[in-house]
Structure 1
Amino acid sequence: MGANADSGAAEGEHARLARRRAAVLPSWLGTLYSEPIDIESGSGRHVHDAEGNRYLDFFGGILTTMTGHAVPEVTEAVSEQAGRILHSSTLYLNEPMIELAERVAELSEIEDPRVFFTTSGTEANDTALLLATGYRSSNQILALRNSYHGRSFASLSVTGNRAWSPSSLSPVQTNYVHGSRRRGTVLEGLDDAEFTAACVRDLEDVLDQLHGNVACLIAEPIQGVGGFAAPPDGLFARFKEVLDRHGILWISDEVQTGWGRTGEHFWGWQAHDANGSPDIVTFAKGIGNGLPIAGVVARGEVMDSVSANSISTFGGSPLTAAGALANLEYHRRNDLWGNAHRVGAVLRDELFAAESMPGVGELRGKGLMLGVELLRPDGSPAPELAAETTEQARTRGLLIGKGGLEGNVLRIAPPLSLTSQEAVDGARILLEALRASGADE
């Protein structure tokens, strides 16, 4: 199960590649691990690095490998399409793109849906902001604290996590409201009902401070980079009541929570029993299983409000659309949404022992989207413990991520095809890694 190649050879090869990387790529482009690894191949839920070390993948390329590595049906669809034509752009008709848009529209539960494809979640959120601000003739945005919505100028301007926001410059006026993170805030210690009520009061208070109309609220149902922090179920339904009174649009950022990852619902927003769907949903990552495809689905009135001409050179290309269609069909045929629910419960049960460790503050999340928050003895965030745990897990053959405002949350998000035995194996490795890093002391 663990890494099994000669360590000296692996260190030498990875070190050489790391030096080449440092010479040509930006210094701010981070990597996992003190000695980064080169993932060269994969199959199912496992990957191999360039030195032959084998790992159970519990991070899926940042929640992107939704169905698994080297899924034959997806590979064949991409290969077949590549043999016909790779690219044409939205200036031409494109049957795979149209068919994929029909599938996404059907799954969206949005009234009179229209779909626009992009190449990344960042670009999808940028497009959603463009739609909302134009439709509402307002540059005032509401976003959640501790949020992350991408790395473009506009998407960073609505990101509420300082670790990922390098500039205070912004094309919009963003006001942040409470909605997910409790520990370390004035809302710590509140139960779900009290927390929900406090967040609604906070939203109303923020709106009272603003002049004129507000364009939208953009929110992740479960915050990804923010350490899988989640609001209580039903919070966004309460928010929607307030938003509707003001005519404010609701954007649900489903880049990480979409396609059934939470196990409970196909979309993360559906956990809130809202009276109506969001006005705009953004999606990415899992739909392409690694192919660069993302998009926006919005009410027709909102999507069609753009008055200028526009195209997308690469969004919904024949190649990526064909792969995404095959990926969604594999997902449906193998009931990966249901599998996320069933195997996610197995994984959580196996990790239950972590909650008794002194260094573990909380085990949270849903389905195959789980977070482990690590703390120091005084209750403060322990990013050093998270970093060491990821290292210890890697040496034992398990890949995980980390996040949170302070970088102290382990992020666990394997492909949705994970088996029960793999869940047990991965959980046991992670528990060993936590003990080895000192979380049990």
Structure 2
Amino acid sequence: MSLLDRHRAVMPHWMPVYYGDDALEIVSGKDRRVTDASGRTYLDFFGGVLTTMVGYDVAEISDAVRRQLSTGVAHTSTLYLIRQQVELAEKIARVSGIPDARVFFTNSGSEANESALLFAANLRRSNQILAIKNSYHGRTFATMAVTGHRSWSSSSLSPLTVNWLSSADRLRGRMAGLADGDLLDAAVDDLREVLATVTAGDVAALIAEPIQGVGGFVHGPDGLLGAYQKVLGEHGILLIADEVQTGWGRTGDHFWGYQAHGVTPDLMTFAKGIGNGFALGGVVGRAEVMNAVPAISFSTFGGNPVSAAAGNAVLDYVLDHDLQRNASVTGSILLDGLRALDAAILGQVRGRGLMIALEFVRPGTTEPDPVVTARVFDLCRQSGLLVGKGGLYGNVIRIGPPLTLTEDEAREGLSILASAVAEADAESRFS
């Protein structure tokens, strides 16, 4: 019985596995490459969904984890002082850009966003939340409610009352084809209309991704969150920046995605890359908001000694090696090369730094083409490159390599992507 058959026999059917009947088992990794059970090696341009942020088999991280494990203490709970956790919280508070910041650690981005929603709702004494269409914030009960992406909203039940703002998607929908200034004006008008018509007037917060992750790396122009916050401030509404995918320098231009918008959020969530594969997430925010929990609460495993040791090593590595700058340099190689492609199936190339998307459409239209997307996805794998998929219609290739990607590796991956797009484009002309 194959590992895939065993997986299907014991795992829920709604857990997707890439490549169908030809699913991969990754058994080892080094730098930006992984090797499967058959011995084939791939250049990894998805990093475990943007999580293996500094690559595989990084000595500084492995050594930090081993040192902690050598003490025999993998867990104590936050009922006791955890040096690694306090040190990591100090670093995150310092780089967050949020004054008088407090940090709460969780195990995942879903838990981080769930916690942020709790803090905001408690402070504002309201369960009303603003969210953005095409967003993804997690798979827990409240985070599903603020996920504006039908494929990932697996329950209509919710502890929150959620009202929706338009996505900044410029291919289709309310913002289609708008220039930056016009989009900012339309977004503010949309926000004011929602507040005036469908809310009860005491909204707790707006939760927003600076770049929508699962939604296919859709993002608005610089200043969008700042434009929102001017209106939110008139009503005392908090801003939660979901930086689970955009944080730690991935966008190249900034350390946090929110910094492109001339705004400082009240709360910011993080996860994925900070653990580089170890379970680690959390919330950082203003003390007044973070302290707005009227009962005892804690996270059993959040910020445990082992994960916190990994997190300290990861953040030190990111800062010491200026990975933000590297994301800008290598991301520019990819973006410039992909934007130069001439393919009728390619509707849009977008992104920042090492967070890049290719959206595929039927030639001459904006109609999504998930079939040709799957073809490009498979062609990349056949040529030794792993990429991700996403988008509201399943028609987006998502690229999120480790931030340690070299310029040569960026060009190697670009060549494979260009060939895959060209082949799929040629096939589409004769189908």
TM-score, with length taken from structure 2: 0.97
Aligned mate of 1:95, from 83, 108, 118? 83
Question: SS where residue 365 of structure 1 aligns?
Answer: strand
CA–CA distance in structure 2, aligned partners of residues 368 and 50 of structure 1? 28
Who is 2:351 aligned against?
365
What is the Cα deviation at residue 90 of structure 1? 0.5
Who is 2:255 aligned against?
266
CA–CA distance in structure 2, aligned partners of residues 244 and 179 of structure 1? 21
**Where do residues 26-425 of structure 1 align in structure 2 (5 Å cutoff)?**
26-34=12-20, 35-84=22-71, 85-209=73-197, 210-274=199-263, 277-354=264-341, 356-377=342-363, 378-425=365-412
* CA RMSD across the alignment: 1.1
- Which amino acid letter does the alignment assign opposite residue 351 of structure 1? L
What is the Cα deviation at residue 351 of structure 1? 1.9
What is the Cα deviation at residue 438 of structure 1? 3.0
- Which amino acid letter does the alignment assign opposite residue 321 of structure 2? N
- Which amino acid letter does the alignment assign opposite residue 5 of structure 2? R
CA–CA distance in structure 1, aligned partners of residues 248 and 42 of structure 2? 25
- Which amino acid letter does the alignment assign opposite residue 302 of structure 1? V
Question: SS where residue 438 of structure 1 aligns?
Answer: helix
Question: SS where residue 130 of structure 2 aligns?
Answer: strand
For residues 245-303 of structure 1, give each alpha carbon's deviation from its aligned partner in whole angstroms, at most 9, with x where no partner exists: 000000000000000000000000000112xx100000000101111000000100011
For structure 2, the 5+ residue unaligned runs are none
For residues 387-416 of structure 1, give each alpha carbon's deviation from its aligned partner in whole angstroms, at most 9, with x where no partner exists: 111111001100000111001011001000
Question: SS where residue 340 of structure 2 aligns?
Answer: helix
Question: SS where residue 2 of structure 2 aligns?
Answer: helix
Contact residue 145 and residue 181 of structure 1 kept, 8 A: no
- Which amino acid letter does the alignment assign opposite residue 99 of structure 1? E
CA–CA distance in structure 2, aligned partners of residues 62 and 150 of structure 1? 13
What is the Cα deviation at residue 111 of structure 1? 1.5
CA–CA distance in structure 2, aligned partners of residues 423 and 191 of structure 1? 30
- Which amino acid letter does the alignment assign opposite residue 224 of structure 1? G
CA–CA distance in structure 2, aligned partners of residues 179 and 372 of structure 1? 17
Contact residue 362 and residue 374 of structure 1 kept, 8 A: yes
CA–CA distance in structure 2, aligned partners of residues 379 and 107 of structure 1? 40
CA–CA distance in structure 2, aligned partners of residues 294 and 159 of structure 1? 18
- Which amino acid letter does the alignment assign opposite residue 268 of structure 1? G
- Which amino acid letter does the alignment assign opposite residue 264 of structure 1? D
CA–CA distance in structure 1, aligned partners of residues 406 and 89 of structure 2? 30
What is the Cα deviation at residue 436 of structure 1? 2.5
What is the Cα deviation at residue 433 of structure 1? 1.3
What is the Cα deviation at residue 334 of structure 1? 1.0
Contact residue 68 and residue 74 of structure 2 kept, 8 A: yes
- Which amino acid letter does the alignment assign opposite residue 55 of structure 2? G
TM-score, with length taken from structure 1: 0.95
- Which amino acid letter does the alignment assign opposite residue 168 of structure 2? S
- Between the aligned residues of both structures, percent identity stands at 52
